[in-house]
């Protein structure tokens, strides 16, 4: 398959090379430091061969990624020619002129956004949201999902005890409340001489962790940011009875189903807890699932995956990013050539095969796609019901407010869920008033 894909990719080599010939020197692509970035380095070797452009990469660890890249953009820096930036950045980067608007380029090169999954175009590319103004090409589809110790779930003695207690078979949870029961069932249990716990979830306060985790429950209960999209009318949406119940649920999950000391946990801690055999289940981004499946100790036939369970509705917290051309680049032709190359269906197929999460319909709508990885079907299901955080230019202030309110309630035991969400509306109202939107 690899040879066929390479041959197919080379068919477009002349057009890519021709487009980039005016400025065929070097490009620097900026992204977060994680497994998909390493896969992109390997994938990009084909572009280097075809275009004659040398690719450099600046990968920043996730805890520092937003601060580093947003500071670079806000200063008009020329480090990055191409940037794979978070979906939440699209509004500010479009309005502040950091990203190149790509509509004319897409039209000229025959790149159609209809060829990409609608949810990814909406989230990663458009500003204002849903308008056909494109500032990125969907690059890395992602959502927050779950994985679990399939071998533990299958043990007859564990199965029997669970069924006696809950009256149903121990299996992948079909609802958020079933997930809680499973986490509580495993909490403090001894397996193979080791005390284990229910689940590792996101509780980190400093960047985005607890928001990305708790919204998995909030969205599943029906949480909305506004009653009417674009109106900023948050009262009764953000603090609805369903939202309050969801936040109370997330706190109960944290208090009764997670390892001790996981009060500031995000991606790395979730992975470590699972790989070290501490937890029966864990949440994390689909981006990590190829590496989890390949893990020699807890992967293979010991692991399985499931989409974030619904409660009142199907919903998953959106991750992922689009790839944008930074307006301050000194190699505009080369940067656009890379976008053109990356958008090709055969490149997208190879991207998926190497561990990247393509958003292209040629990949996702292939009838065999669900058979290409044990988590492929879950990924498709998740991306069909994703929801994202505010993508407003002031998103950083909005995010920090939610981080503080959620962490204070869930982890630090301050106040009630109702008070936390009421306070969040007050915080966000102040931000939007400062922005002149209320």
* Domains of the chain (ranges, CATH numbers): 2-142+319-387 (3.40.190.10), 144-317 (3.40.190.10)
pLDDT beyond 70 at 12: no
Q: What is the rounded radius of gyration, in angstroms, for the C-alpha atoms of the chain?
A: 22
Q: Which of 357, 395, 394 is nearest to 376 (CA)?
A: 357
* Span 150-173, pLDDT tens digits: 999 999 999 999 999 999 999 999
- Per residue in 33-78, pLDDT tens? 999 999 999 999 999 999 999 999 999 999 899 999 999 999 999 9
Average pLDDT over every residue of 143-150: 98
pLDDT at 20 over 70: no
Q: Which pLDDT value is given to residue 41?
A: 98
Q: What are phi and psi of 395, to 5 degrees?
A: -60, -35
Contact residues for 133 (Cβ-Cβ < 8 A; gap 6+): 94, 101, 103, 126, 127
Mean pLDDT along residues 126-137:
96
Q: At what angle do helices 13-20 and 35-51 cross, to 10 degrees?
A: 80
Segment 207-220 mean pLDDT: 97
Task: Please tell me the predicted confidence (pLDDT) of residue 22.
Answer: 43
- Cα–Cα separations (whole angstroms), residue 387 to 36, 231, 316, 391: 22, 18, 6, 11
E strands of 179-333, at which residues? 190-191, 194-195, 197-200, 279-285, 303-306, 316-317, 321-325
Q: For 325, how many CA atoms within 13 A lie in the half-sphere containing its CB?
A: 21
With 0.85 as the threshold, say if the pTM is over it.
yes
Average pLDDT over residues 355-376: 97
Closest CA to 139 of 39, 284, 50: 39
**What are the φ/ψ torsions at residue 357 (nearest 5 degrees)?**
-110, 95
DSSP bridge pairs for 305: 147
Residues 356 and 372 sit within 8 Å (Cβ to Cβ): no
Asked if residue 350 has pLDDT above 50, the reply is yes
pLDDT tens digit sequence for 414-438? 999 999 999 999 999 999 999 999 9
Q: How would residue 24 be classed by pLDDT, with cut points 50, 70 and 90?
A: low
The sign of the dihedral angle between the CA atoms of 316, 317, 319, 324 is: positive
What are the backbone angles phi and psi of residue 284, rounded to the nearest 5°? Answer: -175, 175
Percent above pLDDT 70 for the chain: 95
Can you say whether residue 100 is alpha, beta or left, with left for phi > 0 and alpha for psi between -120 and 50 degrees?
beta
Residue-level pLDDT at 60:
97
Q: Which helix (H) or strand (E) holds 30?
A: strand 26-32
25, with CB counted inside 10 A (0-12, 13-18, 19+), is: exposed
Give yes or no for residue 174 having a pLDDT over 70: yes
CA atoms of 351 and 371, how far apart (whole Å): 16
pLDDT in tens, 194-208: 999 999 999 999 999
In tens, the pLDDT along 81-127 reads 999 999 999 999 999 999 999 999 999 999 999 999 999 999 999 99
């Amino acid at each position: 398959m690899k040879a066929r894909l390479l041959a197919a990719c080379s068919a477009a080599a002349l057009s890519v090379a021709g487009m980039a010939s005016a400025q065929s020197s070097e490009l620097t692509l900026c992204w977060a430091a994680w497994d998909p970035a390493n896969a992109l380095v390997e994938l990009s070797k084909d572009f280097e061969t075809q275009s004659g452009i040398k690719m450099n990469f600046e990968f920043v660890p996730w805890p520092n990624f937003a601060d580093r890249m947003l500071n670079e953009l806000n200063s008009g820096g020329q480090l990055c020619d191409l940037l794979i930036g978070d979906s939440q950045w699209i509004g500010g980067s479009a309005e502040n002129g950091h990203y190149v608007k790509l509509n004319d380029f897409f039209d000229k090169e025959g790149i159609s956004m209809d060829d990409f999954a609608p949810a990814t175009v909406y989230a990663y590319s458009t500003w204002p949201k849903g308008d056909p103004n494109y500032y990125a090409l969907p690059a890395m589809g992602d959502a927050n999902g779950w994985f679990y110790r399939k071998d533990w779930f299958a043990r007859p003695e564990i199965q029997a005890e669970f069924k006696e207690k809950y009256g149903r078979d121990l299996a992948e949870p079909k609802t958020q409340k079933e997930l809680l029961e499973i986490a509580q069932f495993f909490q403090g249990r001894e397996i193979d001489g080791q005390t284990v716990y229910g689940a590792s979830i996101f509780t980190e306060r400093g960047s985005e962790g607890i928001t990305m985790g708790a919204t998995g429950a909030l969205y599943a209960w029906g949480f909305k940011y506004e009653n009417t999209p674009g109106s900023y009318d948050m009262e009764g949406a953000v603090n609805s009875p369903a939202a309050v119940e969801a936040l109370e649920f997330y706190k109960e999950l944290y208090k009764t189903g997670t390892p001790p000391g996981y009060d500031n946990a995000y991606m790395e801690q979730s992975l470590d807890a699972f790989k070290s055999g501490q937890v029966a289940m864990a949440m994390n981004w689909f981006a990590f699932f190829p590496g989890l499946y390949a893990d020699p100790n807890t992967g293979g036939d010991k692991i399985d995956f499931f989409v974030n369970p619904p409660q009142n509705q199907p919903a998953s917290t959106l991750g992922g990013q689009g790839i944008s051309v930074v307006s301050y680049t000194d190699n505009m032709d080369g940067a656009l050539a890379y976008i053109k190359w990356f958008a090709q269906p055969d490149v997208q197929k190879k991207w998926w095969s190497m561990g990247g999460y393509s958003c292209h319909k040629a990949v996702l709508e292939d009838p065999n796609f669900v058979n290409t990885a044990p988590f492929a079907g879950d990924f498709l299901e998740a991306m069909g019901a994703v929801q994202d955080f505010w993508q407003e230019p002031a998103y950083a202030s909005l995010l920090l407010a939610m981080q503080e309110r959620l962490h204070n309630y869930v982890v630090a035991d301050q106040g009630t869920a109702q008070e936390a969400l009421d306070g969040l509306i007050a915080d966000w109202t102040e931000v939007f008033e400062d922005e002149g939107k209320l």
